[in-house]
Amino acid sequence: MFNIHVIQALSGDSMLIEYNDTSDTKHILIDGGPKTVFENFLNQELKRIVGVNGTLEAIMVSHVDDDHIKGIIDLFTLLKEENDNEDNLSFNINHLWHNTFSETIDLDGSISSRLNSINTIFGQHGLSSVNSVFTFNSINQGNRLTALANALDIKINEHSDNGFFSLENNEDAILFDKLSFTIIGPSKENLKALNDEWKAWLEKQEEYINRNQVNLASYSDKSVPNLSSLVFIVEGSGKRVLFTGDARGDYVYEGLKKRKLLKYGKVHFDILKVPHHGSDRNVTREFFENVTADQYIISADGKHGNPDYATLAWIVESAQMQQRNIEIFLTNKTETVNKFINNYKMSEWGYKIIFIKQGKNSLKISL
């Protein structure tokens, strides 16, 4: 058995893998969504599927963005309170996969320090700096999660000898019984590129500030660089699933190429978790022509326009061009999705959309 439960995660991601060992059913959680997701959806689904006092073989945080990590922090906070009160833990957790910002991009701590200084100056001038503050808080949330895991004696990144997961650090597949995980990204080049982007962005903000143009620095706040996403392939029961977090499509494709998984420049999966909630800023039509699947997962609720109309069109048009009938699993109906369905009739374009049913907290995909 190999199932994926796509949890209602609003604007974020949260998915639970369910699989069979020789006799036992086991579970691995990938991401926890943003604020309120654990309280309103994830906790209930973990109790229903894993069971109270059940065990999660691993929790994997794709990256430290709030819409992926906050629900995991809420879970760990609950467990810490139970542990402090000497109560039975709601869930037992064997492993945590968690690449921190300091281990991947900000090796000397200078980026976080400079970002904090910029946010402080914005605040002194009464300016809004939503994106950079949000990103800085997400970085701190990553450190908070590490502290909670240590307090709970949960093993952190034990499956990677060098402290964090990357394409170079993890050349061999990682096994959970008969389920295998192959790390596709980030790569050394990805991390170097992101480090360079951060330094260039900081220099631009600091230049504005030095010229007493703090308002321009705040305005350009929307261009905060990406954080680094963990990308991996899960294989079990003869099926392959590609989990992409919020990674850029070109980074994902390059990782697949470096792993020698491409054949004539293409690769096919049973399921593709579409990067970054279906944002068209992370993918291209070419990506979906070369990285194909029978089923696609998009977790989004319309925030920031996700999933974008173009992304849905690229998926469906690429599939029709290659004469593939596909299914798209969506967590929420949005204005964009409704517009797309009206313009791309399912019967004409050879696709089907499945939503989380009203009143339910997740949908189940059986492989």
At 119 the pLDDT is 86
Cα 145 to Cα 30, 60, 61, distances in angstroms: 14, 12, 10
At 39 the pLDDT is 98
Packing angle between helix 110-124 and helix 188-210, nearest 10 degrees?
A: 30
At 129 the pLDDT is 61
pTM above 0.85, yes or no: yes
Domain boundaries, the chain: 2-366
Span 74-105, pLDDT tens digits = 999 999 999 999 999 999 999 999 999 999 99
Which residues fall within 8 angstroms of residue 119, CB to CB, at 6 or more apart?
A: 129, 132, 133, 136
Q: Domain 2-366 classified CATH 3.30.2320.20?
A: no
Rg (the chain; Cα; Å): 20
* Alpha carbon distance 331, 352 (integer Å): 14
Per-residue pLDDT of the chain (367 residues; tens, 9 = 90+): 899 999 999 999 999 999 987 678 999 999 999 999 999 999 999 999 999 999 999 999 999 999 999 999 999 999 999 999 999 999 999 999 999 999 999 999 999 999 899 888 888 887 666 677 778 888 899 999 999 999 999 999 999 988 899 999 999 999 999 899 999 999 999 999 999 999 999 999 899 889 888 877 776 666 778 889 999 999 999 999 999 999 999 999 999 999 999 999 999 999 999 999 999 999 999 999 999 999 999 999 999 999 999 999 999 999 999 999 999 999 999 999 999 999 999 999 999 999 999 999 999 999 9
At 208 the pLDDT is 87
**Strands 54-56, 91-93: pairing kind:** parallel
At 215 the pLDDT is 79
User: Contact 63/227 with Cβ under 8 angstroms?
Assistant: yes
Packing angle between helix 130-151 and helix 110-124, nearest 10 degrees?
A: 130
* Alpha carbon distance 332, 354 (integer Å): 10
At 161 the pLDDT is 80
* Alpha carbon distance 149, 82 (integer Å): 14
